[in-house]
Chain A
Amino acid sequence: YVSSSNAGGSVSGNGRHSSPAGCGGSGGGLSGGLTQPAGWQSLLSFTILFLAWLAGFSSRLFAVIRFESIIHEFDPWFNYRSTHHLSTNGFYEFLNWFDERAWYPLGRIVGGTVYPGLMVTAGLIHYILNLLHVTVHIRDVCVFLAPVFSGLTAVSTFLLTRELWNQGAGLLAACFIAIVPGYISRSVAGSFDNEGIAIFALQFTYYLWVKSVKTGSVFWTIGCCLSYFYMVSAWGGYVFIINLIPLHVFVLLLMQRFSRRLYIAYSTFYIVGLVLSMQIPFVGFQPIRTSEHMAAAGVFALLQAYAFLQYLKDRLTRQEFQTLFFLGVSLAAGVVFLTLTKPSLPPLLRYAKIHIPIIASVSEHQPTTWVSFFFDLHILVCTFPAGLWFCIKNINDERVFVALYAISAVYFAGVMVRLMLTLTPVVCMLSAIAFSSVFEHYLGDDMKRENPIKQHPFYPVKNSSVYSKLIVTMLMLMLLMMFAVHCTWVTSNAYSSPSVVLASYNHDGSRNILDDFREAYYWLRQNTDEHARVMSWWDYGYQIAGMANRTTLVDNNTWNNSHIALVGKAMSSNESAAYEIMKSLDVDYVLIIFGGVIGYSGDDINKFLWMVRIAEGEHPKDIRESDYFTPQGEFRVDKAGSPTLLNCLMYKMSYYRFGEMQLDFRTPPGFDRTRNAEIGNKDIRLKHLEEAFTSEHWLVRIYRVKKQENRQALDHKLRNIAAKQKYTSKKVLPSRFH
Chain B
Amino acid sequence: MSNSVFSVISRFVEEYRSSTPNKLKMIDAYLLYILLTGVFQFLYCVLVGTFPFNSFLSGFISCVGSFILAVCLRIQINPQNKRDFLTVSPERAFADFLFAHTVLHLVVVNFVG
Contacts and interface: CB of A to CB of B under 8 A. Distances in A.
B96 A261 contact: no
A327 interface: yes
B8 A216 contact: no
A644 interface: no
A264 B111 contact: no
A245 to B, nearest CB: 16
Contacts of A136: none
A272 B100 contact: yes
A134 B103 CA distance: 33
A274 B53 CA distance: 15
Contact of A275 (B5, B87, B104): B104
A272 B84 contact: no
Interface string B5-26: 1001101100110000000000
Interface in A240-263: 259-261, 263
Given A271-B64, A272-B100, A315-B12, A263 B75 contact: yes
B27 interface: no
B45 interface: no
Interface in A266-285: 267-268, 271-272, 274-276, 278-279, 285
A288 B57 CA distance: 10
Contacts of B69: 218, 268
Contacts of A312: 12
Nearest to A285: B53
A47 interface: no
Q: A-side binding surface: helix, strand, loop or mixed?
A: helix
Given A222-B99, A267-B71, A285-B53, A327 B5 contact: yes
B72 interface: yes
A162 to B, nearest CB: 17
Contact of A324 (B8, B54, B58): B8
A316 B12 CA distance: 7
Contact of B4 (A226, A279, A323): A323
B15 to A, nearest CB: 7
Nearest to A261: B84
B108 interface: yes
A217 B5 contact: no
Contact of A279 (B84, B85, B111): B111
Interface in A447-486: none
A320 interface: yes
B36 interface: no
A226 B104 CA distance: 11
A222 B100 contact: yes
Given A264-B76, A279-B111, A316-B8, A259 B103 contact: no
B8 A225 contact: no
Nearest to B58: A275
Contacts of A323: 1, 4-5, 8
A275 B109 CA distance: 11
A681 to B, nearest CB: 59
A258 to B, nearest CB: 11
Nearest to B75: A260
Q: Counting chain B CB atoms within 10 Å of each CB, which of A216, A267, A278 scores highest?
A: A216
Contact of A264 (B12, B15, B72): B72
B32 interface: no
A218 B71 contact: no
Contacts of A327: 5
Given A218-B93, A323-B5, A324-B8, A274 B84 contact: no
Contacts of A261: 84-85
Q: Counting chain B CB atoms within 10 Å of each CB, which of A263, A264, A312, A327 scores highest?
A: A264
A528 interface: no
Interface in A7-47: none
A320 B11 contact: yes
Interface string B65-105: 10011011101100001001101100011011101100110
B39 interface: no
Contacts of A264: 72, 75-76
B65 A271 contact: yes
Contacts of A259: 84
B107 interface: yes
Nearest to A264: B72
A267 B72 contact: yes
Interface string A623-637: 000000000000000
B5 A272 contact: no
Contact of A216 (B9, B58, B88): B88
Nearest to A271: B65
A50 B21 CA distance: 52
Contact of A218 (B54, B62, B100, B108): B100
28 contacts: A215-B85, A215-B87, A216-B85, A217-B87, A217-B93, A218-B97, A218-B100, A219-B95, A221-B100, A222-B96, A260-B85, A261-B84, A264-B72, A268-B72, A268-B100, A271-B65, A272-B107, A275-B65, A275-B111, A278-B54, A279-B110, A315-B12, A315-B16, A316-B11, A320-B8, A320-B12, A323-B5, A324-B8
Interface of B: 1, 4-5, 8-9, 11-12, 15-16, 53-54, 57-58, 61-62, 64-65, 68-69, 71-73, 75-76, 81, 84-85, 87-88, 92-93, 95-97, 99-100, 103-104, 107-108, 110-111
